[in-house]
């Protein structure tokens, strides 16, 4: 589909090949080798969009629209240590997504700039969820 759009927009074959490669590899979750800088940049950009303030907002929006719709269950830390995937189950929640996925994204960055940006966004999320648990427990 992307190739057809790029041809319509009169991109050269060489540029179209690079774009199609980037699109095809960026969501393979470690199965595809990201050989070009452009592919690594796209992969990092996608990951960066899922962390920080935007990532927290997306997390809660998604949880509100998913199967369980829970803000939190109180079991997130215990469940995250089990190693099981609770996505789309009764146990799923916005907080569980953070505990099992979002807090590990900064380690998956591929570019130097991506790592710098991820570090700051990760710190924001860490502080947000730390405060969340303090408020839930009545300590703030």
- At 136, list the tokens: 């839930």
**Closest to 93 (Cα-Cα) out of 118, 117, 70:** 70
**pLDDT tens profile 61-86:** 887 776 666 677 777 777 777 766 66
Tell whether pTM > 0.85.
no
**pLDDT tens profile 19-64:** 888 888 876 655 667 778 888 898 899 899 999 999 999 988 887 7
Interior angle at CA 54, CA 130 and CA 48, nearest 5 = 95
**Domains, the chain, ranges and CATH?**
1-33 (no CATH), 34-136 (1.20.58.1910)
Burial 70-92 (b: 16+ CB within 10 A, else e): bebbeebeebbeeeeebeeeebb
């Amino acid at each position: 589909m992307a190739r057809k759009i790029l041809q319509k927009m009169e991109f050269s074959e060489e540029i179209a090949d690079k774009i199609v490669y980037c699109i095809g590899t960026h969501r393979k979750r470690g199965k595809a080798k990201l050989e070009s800088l452009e592919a690594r940049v796209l992969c990092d950009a996608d990951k960066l969009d899922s962390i920080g303030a935007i990532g927290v907002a997306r997390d809660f929006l998604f949880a509100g629209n998913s199967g369980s719709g829970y803000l939190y269950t109180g079991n997130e830390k215990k469940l995250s240590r089990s190693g099981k995937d609770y996505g789309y189950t009764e146990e799923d929640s916005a907080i569980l997504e953070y505990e099992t996925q979002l807090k590990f994204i900064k380690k998956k960055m591929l570019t130097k700039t991506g790592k710098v940006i991820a570090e700051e966004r990760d710190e924001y999320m860490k502080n947000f969820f730390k405060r969340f648990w303090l408020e839930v427990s009545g300590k703030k």
